[in-house]
Amino acid sequence: MPAGYEPSGRHSDFFSNPGTSSFTQFLSQTAPELLPGRRPLPPGYSADMAPHATTVVSIVCANGVVMAGDRRATAGNLIASRDIEKVHPADPYSLVGMAGTAGIGIELIKLFQVELEHYEKIEGAMLSLDGKANRLATLVRNNLGAAMQGLAVVPIFAGVDLAATDPAKVGRIFSFDVAGGLYEETGYDGIGSGSLFAKSALKKRYRPGLSVEEAVTLGVEALYDAADDDTATGGPDLTRKIYPVVMSATVEGTRRHTDEEVGAIAEAVVARRMENIGG
Type and span of the H or E element at 79? strand 78-81
The whole-angstrom separation of Cα 129 and Cα 40 is: 33
> Is 20 an active-site residue?
no
Catalytic residue from among 20, 24, 30, 54: 54
Write the single-letter amino acid at 78: L
Is 199 within 8 Å of 188 (Cβ atoms)?
yes
62-101 burial code (b ≥16 CB/10 A, e <16): bbbbbbbbbbbbbeeeeeeeeebbbbbbbbebbbbbbbbb
Q: What are 265-269's contacts with CB under 8 Å, separation 24+?
A: 265/216, 265/217, 265/220, 266/220, 266/224, 266/236, 266/238, 267/236, 267/238, 268/217, 269/217, 269/220, 269/221, 269/224, 269/236
CA distance 85 to 83: 6
Q: Which residues are catalytic?
A: 54
